[in-house]
Chains A and B, each alone.
Chain A
Amino acid sequence: MIDKHLLKLRARDVISAEEEAFIRGGVSGSAKVPRDTVVVRAFDPIHTSNILVSGIACRLKDLGNGRRQITELHVPGDFTDVHGFSLKYLDHDILALTDCQFALVPHAHLQEMTERHAHLTRVYWFGTNLDAAIHREWALSLGRRDATARMAHLFCELYVRLELVGLVRQGAYDLPLTQVELSDCLGITPVHTNRTLQQLRSEGVVEFRSGQVIVHDLAALEAVAGFDPRYLYLQRMQR
């Protein structure tokens, strides 16, 4: 169930067989949730964290009145709320954007990990640092990149993150989001999102069609975005 999670961890570090057994042993169950479901509600007390097994989820802050900002997209293999272990509640929602399956990890198991597995603890600490790096990159996009570069950057980031877990095929990946959800990632309105998609399509760079992102020219997409993947910390090394 959590094979993609292990793929993601092993892209950045060496995970021993014993550590893998400990991670697998921590999964207490699974949950299937339909699209548009809040999986973890902001400010609710939490005792379990969720590994995304399939589907697309997000971290979302909501100002009300339809004004909401997605602050990170989660792809299969992500521990969507391991930060909830130390925070005890989240300052944002975790929302299933598509039908999702999650593997559930009780905080008692994470507590045991911090006491018995120093290296794994550092691996998951790295994971929260990586999420913070992604948030910084999104802040940079929202503050300083124009709409076209912002969209191109998001598509580049997802390309790298989905490729790590084997979900990019022939330059394309599934992203079954609506225009409204995409616009909530980019901080622009849906018609502006649609206009920006059309521009990137007409330039032969990338296409967003039927819930799929089809990258026609990855080098051009990266150039439009000003994409530098170093913030995704892709080297495998001892953490």
Chain B
Amino acid sequence: MPRFYLHLENRVGLTRDHDGQEFPDLAAARTAAAANIRDILAEEVKHGRLDMRGLIRIADAQDPQLSVVPFAEALAVTLEGESG
């Protein structure tokens, strides 16, 4: 299985993924990136903060800019006054 690197960029800066993880394909890596984003945001919400400015940049051995999953893509946010 190919190895993908999930680098995180959020309000506290860049967290580089040095280990990487194996996924069957890029689609699976993007699904995992979304799950990682939800887990990180869930912890922030418990501390009373939700900052949607951030992304996970997916790289592989060849391409450092293979794909990007923005936080906003991983979470459906409905604000007061908006229709759900």
Contact = CB atoms under 8 A, between A and B. Distances in A.
Contacts of A178: 19
B15 A195 contact: yes
Interface in A153-183: 178-180
A188 B37 CA distance: 11
B59 interface: no
A31 interface: no
A189 B19 contact: no
A37 to B, nearest CB: 18
A178 B47 CA distance: 27
Nearest to B43: A147
Secondary structure of the A side of the interface?
A: helix
Interface residues of A, number: 14
Contacts of A190: 6, 17, 19, 21, 36
B29 to A, nearest CB: 11
A28 interface: no
B50 interface: no
A190 B8 CA distance: 11
A114 interface: no
A190 B56 CA distance: 12
A215 to B, nearest CB: 20
Contacts of A198: 15
Nearest to A210: B18
Interface string B28-66: 000011011101100100110000000010000000000
B76 interface: no
Contact of A194 (B17, B37, B47): B17
B36 to A, nearest CB: 4
A97 B10 CA distance: 31
A194 B36 CA distance: 11
Nearest to A191: B36
A146 B48 CA distance: 13
B56 A179 contact: no
Nearest to A190: B21
17 contacts: A146-B43, A146-B46, A146-B47, A179-B19, A180-B21, A189-B39, A191-B6, A191-B33, A191-B37, A192-B36, A192-B39, A192-B43, A194-B8, A194-B19, A195-B8, A195-B12, A195-B15
Given A189-B39, A191-B40, A194-B17, 16 more contacts: A146-B43, A146-B47, A178-B19, A179-B17, A179-B19, A179-B21, A188-B39, A189-B35, A189-B36, A189-B40, A190-B6, A190-B36, A191-B6, A191-B33, A195-B8, A195-B10
Interface of A: 146-147, 178-180, 188-192, 194-195, 198-199
